Structure 1
Amino acid sequence: MQIGEMKILMGSANVPLAKAVCEFVGTEPTHVTLKRFPDKEVFVKIDENIRGKDVFIIQPTCPPANDNLMELLIMIDAARRASANRINAVVPFYGYARQDRKDQPRVPITAKLVANLLVTAGANRVLTMDLHAPQIQGFFDIPVDHLYASTVFFDYLKKFKDENLIVISPDVGGIKMAAAYASMLGTDFGFVAKKRMDATQVEATSVVGDVEGKSVLIVDDLTESAGTLQAAAKILKERGAAKVRAAVSHAVLNSKGYERMQEGFLDELISTNSTPVDCRGLPITILSIAPLLGEAMLRINNHQSVTSLFRIKGF
């Protein structure tokens, strides 16, 4: 299949990212009419011929998650009914990923439900980044290309290697990610033990790792209310950390998250543009994943391997 047969459709969830991907790929986005009826139903019309084309629909399911998910499903259905050859759902941020297991009675596994909806709508392939739980790939009966933000972060983070750096996971579940970043940066790693009080309140109880006088890099896949980051940063500074930064793949900050960021518990929050982020004059650095997504899309379009995209430059 030739690159000329690629068609990129933009959802409304993150238009700047979609346009940046199109610019990297070197093509114009396919024109799509997207509107809401008075009762808020979504209407989609693809205004160009996509019959037999390799279609990529860029739409993270970030807040408002339900609206953006429904829009994605309708766009996939429209592409299927327009006889697209292959429909690739490009979902940089996969909403509902935290509901990935039945950890109490009578609850759903919504991450699996969303996977079923995407497949039923007509998606042939999913391209995503830093799922909350990598095993979510197994919820799909279609190919999933799972990219990592670490490849984007590395060039920015390596300048801190001389600051007596240590990588810290803000909870026990993120130790594997922290170990990967520590290996990448050639530093030690540790973790913070925490106790969740409710959906927005977290209490850090202890630190494993020597952080006194060091520059700490907290790594996590996402932050919303910033409760975990705040609790971790507080105990790390109490234990003598000189600086505390956080590298988070998806900054889905809500009003509580921005409120906490204004308290200045972090020296810097580093994230990507997988979801729209309003920095609001806060110490937030946003790195673009457009080249990473664009390169992956080109390789998928040409039936090439995406494995090399997982490798860090110089490693």
Structure 2
Amino acid sequence: MGTPTFQAPRRAARPWLRVFVTGLVLWVLTVLVILLTQNPNLIPTLVLLGSFLVPVTFVVWAFERRDTGELTPTLVFSTFLTGGVLGVLAASLLETYLLHPSPWLFVGVGLIEEAVKLCALAVLTRHLATKTMRDGMILGAAVGFGFAAFESAGYAFTALFTENGLSLMQVVQTELLRGLLAPVGHGLWTGILGGVLFRASTRHHFLITYRLIVAYVGVSLLHALWDSMHSIALVVTLLLTGSPAQYRLLETGWMPRPTDEQVRLFTFLSWAGLAVISVIGIAWLVGLWHSTRRPYNPPPGWRIPTATPPH
């Protein structure tokens, strides 16, 4: 009799895609119904669907690539929800009382937000008996995407209120933009930190290592550059194309009217800067992911055959 082969149970094809398509259809239908009925009671539905669609989709996609059976749907969901809320609350408190307007404001934001997400991840996953780097990246991404979802909901809700009253288009534009950028933001940065944290762990404790400190500083700087790219692009545009008249207006506290060339250059620099930051973060994440092998988990009841001793 030949050696039996193990066949993994078949999974539903691309559940993340079903989640995304279903959520997108519901979001579009919500926009259409609000336009037709002008019912403001549907605004919270629109905000929640648009803010959570992309983060939830990426968490489902990442969950399919888990290393161990300890990453249950319940654990990932609680990490996404609880970690996201704790991160947003802690960041809001610390930024309110510790940060003030200065050229280093965005550096402080990056350091605070990455620290609170890392702490939330460590607290919520401290009980895990097996901590692999890939599982740490998945759980870190779950915390980051939870943070991004709640933060985006806040931005979308704020965008609703304008000088001319409630603006549905402002909400839609905000959710579309933040949805497009969500995969290369909080989830990416905290995914990197989660992998490094779990790599430095023991069975019962997380360790603060040199690699973890370097990773924390690195993702915080990427975060700060991301948040400040608008200001950086504006300064570079003025340095390259600014006229003496524009400089004089700036010295007196007035914002000069940009030329068409300056608008195009500013737009290019803003998006190019975000693209470079995204590529650096993605390359870092992919490098970490491929720097470790998946642990081998044999199927239940399967044993490694041993040599038969000679009679």
TM-score > 0.5, shorter chain as reference: no
Tell me which of the two structures has the higher relative contact order, counting C-alpha pairs closer than 8 angstroms and 6 or more residues apart: 2
Instruction: State the structure with more CA Rg.
Output: 2
Where is the helix percentage greater, Structure 1 or Structure 2?
Answer: 2
Where is the strand percentage greater, Structure 1 or Structure 2?
Answer: 1
Give TM class, smaller chain.
Answer: under 0.3
